[in-house]
Amino acid sequence: MLFAQLLANGVLLGGLYGLMALGMSLVWGVLNIVNLAHGALIMLGGYCVYFLFTGLGIDPFAALPIAMLVLFAVGYVLQRFVLNLVIRSALLNTLLITFGLEVVLTYCAQLAFSADFRTINPPYAGANIDLLGVTLPVVRLGAFATALVLAALMWMLLERTKLGRAIRATAQNLTAARLYGVDPVQLYAITFGLGAALAGAAGGLYGLVSQVTPYMGSALTAKSFVIAIMGGLENPFGIVLGGVVIGLAEALAAIYIGPTFTDAISFGLLVLILVARPARSLQVT
Amino acid sequence: MKLRPLLLVLAVVLLALLPVLGDEVTMQYGIDVLLFATIAQAWNILGGFTGYASFGNSAFYGLGTYGTAIAMTQWGQPFWLGLVFAAFLGVACALLIGVPILRLRGHYFAIATLGLSATLAAIIANLDIAGRNLGLVLPLTRNEPMFYEASLALLVAASLTVAWIARSRFGMGLLAIREDEDAAQVMGVSTTRYKVAALALSAFFTAIAGGIHAYWITFIDPGSAFDLTLNVRMVIMAMFGGPGTVLGPVVGAFILTVVYQLLASSISTAAALLFGLVIVVAVIFMPRGLWDLGQGIGRFGPRYLLQNIRMHRL
């Protein structure tokens, strides 16, 4: 039964990891920016939901859309007025500037919200559902379901709407998309905003199952990285699956190999995949 | 341009004389600055010349600290043999992982190296000879001038190596890889061998710097030895100064380390915040680094800064 419980924990947390990676892979795939500030955006989402819940008494799940809107605005402004200025310079420069943004956001959060650990504790935080002897915390189940719903919405947006078609066209060929009337300045800002909105939702959910601190970002950025590559950059469901794989690997490694190895395991897996499946990683630069 | 080498020699002699003039605190700052400049310069060998951004250099640094510490505490060897062992570990690791990982390009290379530090830290934390999670305590030596001169010597050696690379056929090959790897291969550059050699050189200097730091600080543990933020800092210093140039990374490291120390001593939290802002502004206005900015006084001015934006914006 311990094994089944481990599997359940891994899958539930993994779905949330997948949601985190979703925003990063969207930005990466379309804008070719590896956004090192992604974790910081997740952190901002966490604070948003936290303050909506403690300050205004809004249920955390109901607060998610508001947090997503706020983060969309933050992401739109960042891309429109900062990242668009450097998007055509060397690859390392975009990496560097997002790192700088991560530092700025982290320490602004520390100044504004203090370094305290905060948890989002709705009345049902301790509730569980028992399923065939496996305990499923309601909050984690809700987070997992929300992650799936958002992934599905993302897929619909990309595949079924005009905006989604424009985003996919830009990812494939910027020049051609431009010829067909796509305005890249707006589209890039909207895409980054969408990525940030997904990060915001992930942050709120993460605050429910774990803690919100100003420094939570960098570890989550690294995780999102790994998952975005494993899942590929095109398919939202592939990314959620990648998240589940990492969640499972971590849960199993923590018990059977030792908790100090969890990070090493996910990166080990990543390098193995990169080296063993070279076709894609050799081509894309 | 006959003046430049003369000025450089003068600068090195002045720096070498610092222990005679300065007090202990100045010297400690000095060692810090010199070691940072060395690892930024070492990162430059691969990152600056080939454009392969390595986030695994902090792993070489960690191996260097542990190599020296193990040789000195567990095997009772002198400091210099510890440094030899440190260099050996760093270069061996670079050669071992270089071949599979350097086949990857762009983001993928950066990410594959990102895991190296964490993985090695996890392994070290489970090794008895490395003191597991507790770390190792090295013998205490209060000899600041010795550490200072050793760091300076290492920095000079690294910079001379880069100066040689910049003029050699080897360096041309590395630059060709940065500009267009496929074309370089067609022109007969053995790209894999060049890249692995550059990584090994980079690892050599980084590991020795780690070794000096270990003996100077006298206590090491897996967390501080394999610190990824150290790697980020070397990238920023090299990029800020001018990647792919001989003196850019050194100048960048000197300026940024001094600024950071000054800020940290006066307004602690805001120091990191300002550091981040400096990075953002620097990438926007001078994407090719300080060195490019300083190439001619005439180029400096609002026009140069705006031109950079015009070149790289959407």
Choose the weakest-confidence range: A116-130, A246-260, B80-94.
A246-260
Say what the pLDDT of residue A96 is: 82
Residue B101, token pair as written in the block = 């990982």
CA distance A234 to B208: 43
Residues B149-174, mean pLDDT to the nearest whole number: 93
Q: What residues are paired with A136 via a beta bridge?
A: A129
- Indicate where chain B has its CATH 1.10.3470 domain(s): 24-266
Say what the pLDDT of residue B295 is: 67
Confidence tier at A281 by pLDDT (50, 70, 90): very low
Tell if the CB–CB gap between A95 and B236 is shorter than 8 Å: no
pLDDT over 90 percentage in chain A: 36
Say what the pLDDT of residue B299 is: 58
In the predicted model, is pLDDT for residue B230 greater than 70? yes
CA distance A192 to A28: 9
Residues from chain B that touch A275, judged by Cβ atoms under 8 A, are 100-101, 103-104, 112
In the predicted model, is pLDDT for residue A90 greater than 90? no
> Scanning every residue of chain A, which has its alpha carbon at the shortest distance from the alpha carbon of B314?
A84
> Which amino acid appears at position B214 of this protein?
A
Confidence tier at A274 by pLDDT (50, 70, 90): confident
Q: What is the DSSP letter of B314?
A: -
In the predicted model, is pLDDT for residue A282 greater than 50? no
Tell if the CB–CB gap between A275 and B104 is shorter than 8 Å: yes
Residues A100-129, mean pLDDT to the nearest whole number: 87
Which residues have a Cβ under 8 Å from the Cβ of B43 and sit 6 or more positions away?
A: B54, B57, B202, B206, B231, B234, B235, B238, B249
Say what the pLDDT of residue A285 is: 35
Q: Does B278 touch chain A (CB under 8 A)?
A: yes
Average pLDDT, chain A: 86
What is the CATH code of the structural domain delimited by A2-283?
A: 1.10.3470
Tell if the CB–CB gap between A268 and B287 is shorter than 8 Å: no
Nearest of A94, A35, A100 to residue B272 by alpha carbon: A100
Give me the helix-helix angle, A236-256 and A217-231, nearest 10°: 120
In the predicted model, is pLDDT for residue B213 greater than 70? yes
Closest chain A C-alpha to B103 CA, distance in angstroms: 7
Confidence tier at A283 by pLDDT (50, 70, 90): very low
Choose the weakest-confidence range: A16-20, A121-125, B43-47, B209-213.
A121-125
Q: Are B117 and B231 in contact (CB under 8 A)?
A: yes
Choose the weakest-confidence range: A131-135, B204-208, B272-276, B305-309.
B305-309
Chain B residues 118-157 with a CB less than 8 Å from chain A:
118-119, 121-123, 125-126, 133
In the predicted model, is pLDDT for residue B162 greater than 50? yes
Say what the pLDDT of residue B268 is: 66
Q: Does domain B24-266 have CATH number 1.10.3470?
A: yes
HEC profile of B88-136: HHHHHHHHHHHHHHCCCCHHHHHHHHHHHHHHHHHHHCCCCCCCHHHCE
* Cβ atoms < 10 Å from Cβ of B268: 9
Q: Does B5 touch chain A (CB under 8 A)?
A: no
Closest chain A C-alpha to B238 CA, distance in angstroms: 11
Residues from chain B that touch A184, judged by Cβ atoms under 8 A, are 314
In the predicted model, is pLDDT for residue A167 greater than 80? yes
In the predicted model, is pLDDT for residue A184 greater than 90? no
A260 vs B135: which has the higher pLDDT? B135
Say what the pLDDT of residue B130 is: 81
Say what the pLDDT of residue B301 is: 65
Say what the pLDDT of residue B269 is: 67
Closest partner residue to B108 (CB to CB) among A82, A95, A274 is A274
Question: How far, in whole angstroms, is CA A3 from its chain's centroid?
Answer: 27
Count how many pairs of residues, chain A against chain B, have C-beta atoms within 8 Å.
149
Tell if the CB–CB gap between B313 and A84 is shorter than 8 Å: yes
Closest chain A C-alpha to B87 CA, distance in angstroms: 24
Residues from chain A that touch B312, judged by Cβ atoms under 8 A, are 85-89, 93
Residues from chain A that touch B100, judged by Cβ atoms under 8 A, are 275
CA distance B66 to B87: 11
Say what the pLDDT of residue B69 is: 93
In the predicted model, is pLDDT for residue B120 greater than 80? yes
3-class DSSP state for residue A136? strand
pLDDT digits (tens, 9 = 90+) for A36-53: 899 999 999 999 999 999
Say what the pLDDT of residue A169 is: 87
Q: Are A13 and A6 in contact (CB under 8 A)?
A: no
Say what the pLDDT of residue A277 is: 61
Residues B75-88, mean pLDDT to the nearest whole number: 92
Q: Does B268 touch chain A (CB under 8 A)?
A: no
> Scanning every residue of chain A, which has its alpha carbon at the shortest distance from the alpha carbon of B178?
A90
Average pLDDT, chain B: 85
pLDDT digits (tens, 9 = 90+) for A192-234: 999 999 999 999 999 998 889 998 888 888 888 888 887 776 7
> Scanning every residue of chain B, which has its alpha carbon at the shortest distance from the alpha carbon of A114?
B269
Which residues have a Cβ under 8 Å from the Cβ of A282 and sit 6 or more positions away?
A: B103, B104, B105
3-class DSSP state for residue A133? coil
Q: Are A174 and A168 in contact (CB under 8 A)?
A: no
Backbone φ/ψ region at B218: left (φ over 0), alpha (ψ -120 to 50), beta? left
Work out whether the CA dihedral A194, A198, A200, A201 comes out positive or negative: positive
Q: Does B96 touch chain A (CB under 8 A)?
A: no
pLDDT digits (tens, 9 = 90+) for B13-57: 888 888 877 778 888 888 999 999 999 999 999 998 998 888 889
Residues from chain B that touch A258, judged by Cβ atoms under 8 A, are 126
Choose the weakest-confidence range: A258-262, A269-273, B21-25, B67-71.
A258-262
Residues A226/A227/A233/A234 CA torsion (nearest 10 deg) = 170
Which residues have a Cβ under 8 Å from the Cβ of A94 and sit 6 or more positions away?
A: A32, A33, A34, A83, A86, A87
Q: Which of A92, A110, A261 to mutate to test the interface with B (most CBs of B within 10 A)?
A: A92
Tell if the CB–CB gap between A281 and B125 is shorter than 8 Å: no
Chain B residues 239-258 with a CB less than 8 Å from chain A:
239, 243
Which residues have a Cβ under 8 Å from the Cβ of A243 and sit 6 or more positions away?
A: A14, A15, A16, A17, A18, A19, A20, A21, A147, A227, A231
Closest chain A C-alpha to B147 CA, distance in angstroms: 32
* Cβ atoms < 10 Å from Cβ of A131: 11
Closest chain B C-alpha to A61 CA, distance in angstroms: 32
* Cβ atoms < 10 Å from Cβ of A115: 11
Confidence tier at A61 by pLDDT (50, 70, 90): very high
Q: Which of A85, A182, A183 to mutate to test the interface with B (most CBs of B within 10 A)?
A: A85
Tell if the CB–CB gap between B118 and A107 is shorter than 8 Å: no
Closest chain A C-alpha to B192 CA, distance in angstroms: 13
Q: Does B180 touch chain A (CB under 8 A)?
A: no
Chain B residues 42-71 with a CB less than 8 Å from chain A:
47, 51, 53
ipTM higher than threshold 0.90: no
Confidence tier at B223 by pLDDT (50, 70, 90): confident
Say what the pLDDT of residue B66 is: 94
* Cβ atoms < 10 Å from Cβ of B50: 26
> Which amino acid appears at position B43 of this protein?
W
Which residues have a Cβ under 8 Å from the Cβ of A283 and sit 6 or more positions away?
A: none
Confidence tier at B102 by pLDDT (50, 70, 90): confident
Nearest of B267, B276, B193 to residue B232 by alpha carbon: B276
Residues from chain B that touch A82, judged by Cβ atoms under 8 A, are 280, 284
CA distance B78 to B211: 12
